[in-house]
Structure 1
């Protein structure tokens, strides 16, 4: 029987980033992995803004909320977006572009893990600050910001985050999240 992919098992949302710059070819490899994700009707609705120079990083860091203080040390912040016109336009108005974009981010995260990098997606940012800072047009939805970088010094983290860096990954057992052949409220 096949085993679970090692990068899935070792992937963590780590927070201690080092200052080492990510080379352009490495960033492109991560993005190539991202865009290989499947999407509804092959719409490929994801769009990425790579913030890696000092000016762009300063603008992106300005949108981070206080709980994501640690992400200010990441040498790359990736702003992940989609647009409604790139969605599948399903008759029941499901927003499939968000799902598809999430698949692309997961591909990127798994490739980053394989490369020895940390990739941590965040919800703790102000989308309006990003919209204003980068002139992101209305109609573009900012889905997440991903901190990318090499491992750094955990001593830069607050106590809560230091403890969580290597704490056991807690996942619900399958019996709590999976049903077989019929639906029952869980």
Structure 2
């Protein structure tokens, strides 16, 4: 069972008292060349949450943030033209997740969504890409034990190599 399975429809309570504190880390998150090529689309009103459900399962969360990246502003690595929009958006998202954990708020990182529906429902401009959605709320039940990673994850020896790639 995944954390998302555990939370399906299980969020409860509002998070209004900590909303600003959740976004602040995004503003100070490191991005390529400090360009901050993102915009956070905050969805917390009932109408917006219903529109969002057309594109993604947000597990009954009372608050969701669509992390959008701006293709005009992102830094591109000059050696191979790698666009790091996904990396920047991931750093921003991770910073918000860590802050939420610090505040006792649960999160689900969502990449399984229909971007065309998001674009249409929320009038996201063409130069922006919805990279992911972060759902926030308080879980109705305790989530799975962190010890599950001992069995569900690869051993560290399979993930780390030293001095040369093996």
**TM-score, normalised on structure 1?**
0.77
Show the 5 A alignment for 1:1-186: 15-16=7-8, 17-23=10-16, 26-64=18-56, 68=57, 71-91=58-78, 92-153=80-141, 165-166=143-144, 168-169=148-149, 170-184=152-166
Structure 1 residue 153 displacement after superposition:
4.8
- 2:97 & 2:126 partners in 1: Cα distance? 27
Which shifted more, 47-56 or 171-180?
171-180
- 2:76 & 2:92 partners in 1: Cα distance? 19
Alpha-carbon distance change, 61 to 180 in structure 1, aligned in 2, over 3 angstroms: same
- In the alignment, structure 2 segments of 5+ residues that lack a partner are none
**TM-score, normalised on structure 2?**
0.86
- 2:76 & 2:47 partners in 1: Cα distance? 37
Query: Normalized per residue, which structure has more strand?
Result: 2
Total equivalences in the alignment: 157
- 1:124 & 1:101 partners in 2: Cα distance? 15
- 1:89 & 1:176 partners in 2: Cα distance? 30
- 3-state SS in 1 of match to 2:11: coil
Q: In angstroms, what is the RMSD of aligned CA positions?
A: 1.9
